[in-house]
Chains A and B, each alone.
Chain A
Amino acid sequence: MGDPGTKQDLLSLEDLEAAGALRTGRKHVLSILVENKPGVLTRIAGLFARRGFNIETLTVGPTDDDQISRVTLTVDGALHPIDQVTKQLHKLINVLKIRDLEPEGTVARELALFKVAAEGRLAPRSCRCATSSAARSWTSRAARSSSR
Chain B
Amino acid sequence: MRAVDAVIECLKAEGVEVVFGLPGGANLPQYDAFYDAGIRHVLVRHEAGGGHAAAGYAKATGRVGVCFATSGPGATNVVTPIADAMMDSVPTVFITGQVRTDLLGTDGFQETDVVGITMPIVKHSFMIQHPLEIPRAIHEAFHLARTGRPGPVIVDIPTDLARADIPYEPVTDIHLPGYQPTHDGNTKQIRQAAKALASARRPVLYVGGGAINANASEEVRELARLDNFPVTCTLMGLGAFPAPDPQWLGMLGMHGTRTANYAMDEADLIVAIGARFDDRITGKLSEFAPRAKFVHIDIDPAEISKNIPAHIPIVGDAKNIVAKLVKEYRALEGVDHTRLEAWWERIRGWQEKHPLRYEDSEGTEIKPQYLVEALYEATGGDAIVTTDIGQHQMWCAQYFHFDRPRRWLQSGGLGTMGFGLPAAMGAKVGMPDETVICLAGDGSVQMNMQELATCAQDGIDIKIFISNNGYLGMVRQWQELFWDKRYSQVDMGQFPDFVKLADAYGATGFRFENKTTLVDDIKKAIATPGPVMVDVRVTREENVYPMIAPGAAARDMVG
Contacts and interface: CB of A to CB of B under 8 A. Distances in A.
Nearest to B181: A91
A100 interface: no
A13 B199 contact: yes
A9 B332 contact: yes
B302 A87 contact: yes
Contacts of B331: 4-5
Interface in B316-374: 324, 327-328, 331-335
B294 interface: yes
A20 B310 contact: yes
A84 B293 CA distance: 20
A19 interface: yes
A66 to B, nearest CB: 15
Contact of B178 (A2, A83, A92): A92
Given A5-B331, A46-B119, A18 B177 contact: no
Interface in B376-411: none
A20 B305 contact: yes
B5 to A, nearest CB: 26
Contact of A9 (B124, B187, B198): B198
B206 to A, nearest CB: 16
Interface stretch (B189-197, B469-477, B510-518, B531-539): B189-197
Contacts of A113: none
B139 to A, nearest CB: 14
Contact of B195 (A9, A46, A93): A9
B199 A35 contact: no
Contact of A84 (B179, B300, B306): B306
A116 interface: no
B127 A16 contact: no
Contacts of B120: 46-47, 50
Given A1-B187, A4-B191, A39 B127 contact: yes
Contacts, number: 105
Interface in B276-328: 293-294, 300-302, 304-306, 309-313, 324, 327-328
Interface string A43-73: 1001100100000000000000000000000
Contacts of A83: 305
Given A38-B129, A95-B178, A13 B334 contact: no
B302 A90 contact: yes
Contacts of B1: none
A11 interface: yes
A1 B178 contact: no
A146 interface: no
B463 to A, nearest CB: 39
A10 B197 CA distance: 9
A13 B187 contact: no
Given A4-B327, A39-B115, A46-B120, A16 B334 contact: no
B144 interface: yes
B144 A16 contact: no
Contact of B334 (A4, A9, A42, A90): A9
A87 B301 contact: yes
Contacts of B332: 4-5, 9-10
Contacts of A18: 293-294, 305, 309-311
Contacts of B335: 9-10
Given A87-B302, A90-B302, A91-B300, A12 B176 contact: no
A17 interface: yes
A96 interface: yes
Nearest to B179: A93
Interface string A5-45: 11011111100111111000000000000110011001100
A20 B303 CA distance: 11
Contacts of B302: 84, 87-88, 90-91
Contact of B333 (A9, A34, A38, A47): A9
B311 A1 contact: no
A94 interface: yes
B280 to A, nearest CB: 20
A111 B166 CA distance: 49
Interface string A121-148: 0000000000000000000000000000
B169 to A, nearest CB: 22
Contacts of A96: 177-178
B559 interface: no
Nearest to A2: B187
Contacts of A9: 195, 198, 332-335
Given A20-B304, A84-B302, A93-B179, A11 B192 contact: yes
Residue with the highest number of chain A CB atoms closer than 10 Å, among B127, B187, B268, B332:
B332
Contacts of B194: 4
A17 B196 CA distance: 12
A4 B176 CA distance: 35
A10 B176 CA distance: 41
A95 to B, nearest CB: 5
A43 B125 CA distance: 10
Interface of A: 1-2, 4-6, 8-13, 16-21, 34-35, 38-39, 42-43, 46-47, 50, 81, 83-84, 87-88, 90-96
14 contacts: A1-B191, A1-B324, A1-B327, A4-B327, A5-B331, A5-B333, A6-B333, A8-B195, A9-B332, A10-B195, A19-B310, A39-B116, A42-B116, A93-B178
Given A1-B324, A5-B331, A18-B293, 6 more contacts: A9-B195, A10-B199, A18-B294, A19-B305, A21-B306, A39-B127
CB-CB nearest 10 A-B residue pairs: A20-B305, A18-B309, A5-B331, A4-B331, A87-B302, A16-B311, A9-B332, A93-B124, A21-B305, A10-B199
Interface of B: 115-116, 119-120, 123-124, 127, 129, 144, 176-179, 187, 191-192, 194-196, 198-200, 268-269, 293-294, 300-302, 304-306, 309-313, 324, 327-328, 331-335
